[in-house]
Amino acid sequence: MKVLLLEDDVALSDLLNEHLEDKGFEVTLCTNGQVALEALIEQKFDIALLDINTPQISGIDVLKTIRKEYKNNTPVIILTAYQDTKHLKESFENGVDDYIKKPFDLEELDQRILKLCRQFFINQDNKIEIDKNLFFEPESCQIFKDDKIINLALKERDILRYFCTHKNRVISSDELLQNIWVYDEMPTDATIRVYIKNLREIIGKEKITTIRSVGYRFE
């Protein structure tokens, strides 16, 4: 699992980096917000841990930029020494998924990461029920339909997993691009339509509705 860590305190960043790597995560450590922002735009991460008070760009501004300008919905946990509710409120208004006040135990961080993994089906073999007798297993890239097993292409898997974590919400092609593909591998809208067509043939046309000129909704 790929984790981005934005933390400019050397002692804490070393501690968290070592702890996360011991847990088996692939960690990208950033000590200022500008570098973290560029990494989140150019690469795909499973989770981002963002300190608020960081050089160049604050963690909240990084969060705000990826959410509003890039439609990037990478799960984010804010780490902060601030004890007021102002920063808490601002974080959630800008789309943070969780929030930890310093100092915190490493076990608390582990549990919050685990919670997001469950919420967003990250690194889980559990089957997701799409419909009666229709299940999706992200890690194996398989659909279980009645008595058949159907293999998905990697990007079909990624699109379906994104739909499953954002049910009943209109998702634009641009949002899919920003959250599934890396910057230098962006496909055309036609390619996305082919992936959507393939998924509809497998799980049923009624599951993915086209909202004309806006995007798609998974129901």
Kindly state whether residues 140 and 204 are assigned to the same domain.
yes
State residue 121's pLDDT score: 84
State residue 186's pLDDT score: 83
Range name among 19-28, 121-130, 176-185 with the lowest pLDDT average: 121-130
Q: What is the pLDDT of residues 24-74, one digit of tens each?
A: 999 999 999 999 999 999 999 999 999 999 999 999 999 999 999 999 999
CA terminus-to-terminus distance, the chain: 28
Domain edge (last residue) among 72, 96, 119: 119
Kindly state whether residues 36 and 9 are assigned to the same domain.
yes
- Domain span at residue 68 reads 2-119
Please state the separation of Cα 40 from the chain's center in Å.
11
Tally of CB atoms within 10 A around 51? 26
Indicate whether 7 pLDDT > 90: yes
Relative to beta strand 2-6, strand 47-51 is parallel
Domain edge (last residue) among 90, 119, 148: 119
Indicate whether 196 pLDDT > 90: yes
How many angstroms separate the CA atoms of 56 and 64, rounded? 14
State residue 125's pLDDT score: 63
The CATH number that applies at residue 77 is 3.40.50.2300
Kindly state whether residues 142 and 108 are assigned to the same domain.
no
Domain tally for the chain?
Answer: 2
Domain edge (last residue) among 91, 119, 147: 119
Indicate whether 208 pLDDT > 90: yes
